[in-house]
Amino acid sequence: MKNKIKLILLAIGTFFFEYIFWKESLGNNAFIFSAFAIIAMIFAFPASFKSLRTITVSLGVLLSSAAVAYHASIFSIIIWIMSLFMVPSFIHHQKIKAVFFGFVISYVDYFSSLNLPFENIKINKNILGRFSNTFRFLKLTLIPLVVLFIFYWIFKFANPIFDEISTKFFTKIGDWLRELFKDISATQVLFVIWGFTLMIYFLYKKINAKEIEFENNYSDKIIRQRKPKDKKGIYSTVRKLKLDLVNEYRTGLILIFLINALLLIINIIDINWVWFGFEYTQDFDLKQFVHEGTYLLILSILISIAIMVYFFRANLNFYPKAKLLRIAAYAWIFQNAILTVSVALRNLKYIDHYGLAYKRIGLFFFLALVIFGLITLIFKIKYQKTTFKMIKENSWAVYIGFILFAIPDWDPFIAKKNLANPIKENIDVSYLLTMDDKVLPLIDKHNEILLHSKDNDTYKFYYEPYTEIFDKRVDKFMKNYKDKSLFARNKADDKAYEYFKLKYPFIEKRIQQNEPAF
C-alpha cells in the first residue's frame, strides 16, 4: 500500500515540478516545492526524521528556500539547491555523520536510484496472470487489425470517395494531436524527466553499503598505535619507538615555541597599530594593507592549524611528558585567535573607508568559522579526538554558516551602508548598478550619485551615462516582472515593483502599450 502511495507522490511531484518551474525564474516556487518534497519524504521515511542531522539539513532546505522566496539572491539559490540535493542522503542513510560525505554520496545515490521504483514493484502470480491475459488479448486482436489495415488500403485506392472521407478524418485527427502537443517541446520532455528522476531520488531508498562503511571506518577518538614486538629485537624496537616519539615531541616543542615567540611580536604590533593606534593618511596603501595583509594572515592561521593537527594526530597525544607541548599549543591557538581579531579589524577599517561588498561580509563569516575551528582544535588536543571528528564538526559549522549567510537580503543592506558613506566620492556607482533589481529603488532615492564621475569605477566600467543605464534597468525590470507568474516572483522584487509603479506610473503604461524605453 505504501509503495502505491509513493507512486502517486512520484506522479504528483513530477507534475508539480514541471508546473511551477518550467520556463520560470526561482522565487516562491522554491519554497513551495521544498515544502512538498520534505513532507513527502517525512511520509516515506518517518523514522529518519528522529535524527538531529536529518532535521538540521531539512531545516536548511526550508530556510534557504524561504530566502529564495524572499529575495532570490544567487548565493541563497546555490545553498538551496545544494541542501535540497543533499537532504535525501541523510534521510536514507542514518549512519552518515559528516556534511561533506553526505554531499558526495548524494551524487552516487541520485544516479543509482533511477531504477528503484521498478525494483519495488513486486511481481507475483496475479500480476503474471494479468500480463498473460493481456498478451493473449493482444495476440487475438493483432491479426484482425493487420487484416483490417490491408483492406483499408485496398478500399482507399479503389474508391476515391472513401479515400477523400478517410483522408479528411485522419487529417483532423492529426491536427487535433498537433494542437494537443503544440506547446510541448523536446526540452520540456527532458525537463519533466529530470523532475521525475528527482522525485525518485527523494522517495526511494538506495543502500550504498560500501560507501557508508567507508565513512564508518573513521573513529572520533584517537587510538594508541602499538607496533608488534618481534622475538629477536624486543628491546631495540621499544627503544626505537620511544626515541621516535621523543624526537617528534622535541621537534614540535621547539617549532611551537619559536612560532609562538614570532606570533607574540606580530600580535603586539597589531594590537598597538591596528587595534588602538591606526590612522589613515592619503599616502597609505589601504588596499594592500587589507587585501595582501589579510590573505597572508589567513594563510598563516590555516598553516598553524595544519601543524597542530599533524603533531597531535597519533601517539604524541599519549606521551607522558607532553603537558608542556599542550600548554604551548594552547598558547599558539590563543595567539591565532588574536590574529583573527586583527584581520577582522583590518576589514572594518577598509569598510569604513570604501564601503561594504560581499567579499568583505564573507570574510567575517570565514573568520567566525576560523574561531570555531580553533575551538574544535582545543577540544581535539585536550580530549585526544581524531582529525576526522574535527573535520566533521567543522563541515557542519560551514554548512550552517552558509545557511545563515544565505538568509539575509545582503544587496539592499550593502547598498544602504554604501549610500550612507559620508565620503560620497568613494561610492562605487558601478558596483551598485550591478546589484539585483531590488536595489533600484534605493538608487532612485539617492539619484544624485548617478551624476558621479566614472573615475571611481573599480567594479565595472560603463560606456553609457549612469542615468541611461539606470533607466534601462528599471524598464527591463518592470517588463520582466509583469511577465513572471506568481510562482517565479519574490518578496523583494514585489516591493521594488510597487515602488516604481506608484512613483513612475508612466513606465507601466509604456510597457502595457509595448513602447520602447529609448
Between the alpha carbon of residue 396 and those of residues 61, 99, 299, 369, the distances in Å are 14, 6, 22, 10
Q: Is 498 exposed, middle or buried (0-12, 13-18, 19+ CB in 10 A)?
A: exposed
Residue 202 has pLDDT above 60, yes or no: yes
Helix extents (H) in 50-73: 52-70
**Dist CA 366 CA 405 (whole Å):** 11
- Decide if pLDDT at 494 tops 50: yes
pLDDT of the residue at 128: 45
Phi-psi region of 85 (alpha: psi -120 to 50; beta: other; left: phi over 0): alpha
Q: Is the pLDDT of residue 235 over 50?
A: no
Q: Are 332 and 308 in contact (CB under 8 A)?
A: yes
Poorest-pLDDT segment among 33-37, 59-63, 433-437: 433-437
What pLDDT sits at residue 510?
64
Look up cell 510562482; give the residue.
487
Reported confidence tier of residue 408, pLDDT bands at 50, 70, 90: very high
Question: 9-13, 350-354, 396-400: lowest mean pLDDT where?
Answer: 350-354
Strand partners, 385: 221
Of the listed ranges 209-218, 235-244, 296-305, 379-388, the one predicted with least confidence: 235-244
| 3-state SS class at 221 | strand
Q: What is the mean pLDDT of the chain?
A: 80
pLDDT tens-digit series, residues 240-275: 556 667 777 788 888 888 888 988 998 898 888 888
- The pLDDT assigned to 123 comes to 44
Q: What is the pLDDT of residue 465?
A: 86
Query: For position 518, what pLDDT does the model report?
Result: 47
Which residue did the predictor score with more confidence, 365 or 95?
365
Pinpoint the alpha helices (H) of 93-185: 99-112, 116-119, 125-158, 160-180
Calculate helix-pair angle for 387-406, 52-70, nearest 10 degrees: 30
Q: Is the pLDDT of residue 131 over 50?
A: no
Range with the lowest mean pLDDT among 46-60, 165-179, 258-272? 165-179
More confident site: 408 or 281:
408
pLDDT at 357: 87
d(CA 127, CA 114): 22
Residue 457 has pLDDT above 80, yes or no: no
**Cell numbers for 12:** 504528483
Among 360-364, 453-457, 487-491, the least confident range? 453-457
Of the listed ranges 351-365, 434-448, 453-467, 484-498, the least confidently predicted one is: 453-467
Mean pLDDT of 427-447: 90
Q: Which residue has the higher pLDDT, 190 or 278?
A: 190
C-alpha cell at 233: 629485537
Grid cell for residue 366: 570565514
Residue range 386-390: average pLDDT?
85
pLDDT the model gives residue 33? 95
pLDDT tops 90 at residue 110? no
Name the 3-class secondary structure at 485.
coil
| pLDDT confidence of residue 246 | 77
Mean pLDDT of 512-516: 59
Q: pLDDT digit string (tens) for 137-158? A: 555 566 666 667 676 767 666 6
Neighbour tally for 263: CB within 10 Å: 20
Which residue carries 531504477 as its cell?
115
User: Which residue reads 598505535 in cell numbers?
Assistant: 225
Is the per-residue pLDDT at 314 higher than 80? no
Does the pLDDT value for residue 37 go beyond 90? Answer: yes
Q: Which of 414, 419, 477, 415 is nearest to 449 (CA)?
A: 419
Radius of gyration of the chain (CA): 33
Residue 30 contacts residue 42 (beta carbons within 8 Å): no
Q: List Cβ neighbours of 255 (8 Å cut-off, separation of 6 or more).
A: 307
Mean pLDDT throughout 395-421?
91
pLDDT band at 439 (very low <50, low <70, confident <90, very high): very high
Terminal C-alpha separation, the chain: 62
Percent of the chain at pLDDT > 90 equals 24
- Count of Cβ atoms closer than 10 Å to residue 393 Cβ: 21
Q: pTM of the predicted model, to two decimals?
A: 0.79
pLDDT band at 55 (very low <50, low <70, confident <90, very high): very high
Other CB atoms within 10 Å distance of the CB of residue 383? 12
Per-residue confidence band for 228, with pLDDT thresholds at 50, 70 and 90: low
**pLDDT-derived band at 177, boundaries 50, 70, 90:** low
Per residue in 6-16, pLDDT (tens digit) is 888 999 999 99
| pLDDT beyond 80 at 113 | no
Asked whether the predicted pLDDT for residue 94 surpasses 90, the reply is no
Q: What mean pLDDT do residues 388-414 have? A: 91
C-alpha cell recorded at residue 420: 550612507
Write out the three cell numbers for 245. Answer: 616519539
The three state secondary structure string of 11-43 is HHHHHHHHHHHCCCCCCHHHHHHHHHHHHHHHH
CA distances from 411 to 53, 60, 105, 390, 420 (A): 31, 21, 34, 34, 14
Share of the chain above pLDDT 70, in %: 74
Q: How far apart are CA 214 and CA 105, in angstroms?
A: 11
As separate numbers, helices (DSSP H) first and strands (DSSP E) second, the chain gives: 21, 0
